Amino acid sequence: MYAPSIFEDRFMNNFLDDFFGKPVSALNRMANPMRTDIMEKDGNYYMSIDMPGYKKEDLKAELKDGYLTISAGSREEKEEKDETGKLIYRERHTGECRRSYFVGKHLNENDIKASFENGVLKLEFPSEEKKPAEEQKKVIAIQ
């Protein structure tokens, strides 16, 4: 039997909007901050991963057993004081996200090119396993 989700109900959406101060759609975007696009062209994969709010130094990319894991973490603190130095406002935010992609066991870290600009992490790597170069015959001189 199909049971509708409480998050699809207009009453609940309005209630949650009022309670959290953000639309439910904004909460859904925060739950998946690493939206990814993958494209194949000319024997390479091109990945674009949205990383809003992170800086290059917050990012980490690791390759292990054919899985490329992208992780990011940040910490932000804001503080305001009045003229006498009394604390009147303090806010802290810590964020962390991580996502893994199977890219193939044939890759090593030198095969992956990465760049980060304007909140988008871009990666490029070969889509197919490299075929071993055919060994050429080498003539051995006999004296």
pLDDT in tens, the chain (143 residues): 444 444 444 444 454 554 455 444 444 445 566 899 999 999 999 999 999 888 899 999 999 999 999 999 888 888 888 888 887 888 887 878 899 999 988 888 999 999 999 999 999 999 877 665 566 666 666 65
Structure confidence at residue 32 (pLDDT) = 60
135 in helix, strand or coil? Answer: coil
64 is written with which tokens?
Answer: 């292990």
Structure confidence at residue 67 (pLDDT) = 93
Structure confidence at residue 135 (pLDDT) = 62
Q: In what order do the strands lie in the sheet with 120-126?
A: 36-41, 44-50, 120-126, 113-117
Give the position of tokens 């197919």.
128
18 in helix, strand or coil? Answer: helix
**CATH numbers and ranges of domains, the chain:** 1-31 (no CATH), 34-126 (2.60.40.790)
Structure confidence at residue 27 (pLDDT) = 43
0.75 cut: is pTM over it? no
Residues whose CB is less than 8 angstroms from the CB of residue 74 and which lie 6 or more positions away in sequence, other chains included: 53, 54, 55, 58, 93, 94, 95, 96
Structure confidence at residue 31 (pLDDT) = 56
Is-contact 46 114, C-beta < 8 A?
no
CA dihedral 37, 45, 51, 27 (to 10 degrees): 30
Residues whose CB is less than 8 angstroms from the CB of residue 90 and which lie 6 or more positions away in sequence, other chains included: 77, 78, 79, 80
How many angstroms separate the CA atoms of 21 and 72, rounded?
26
Structure confidence at residue 63 (pLDDT) = 93
Structure confidence at residue 49 (pLDDT) = 94
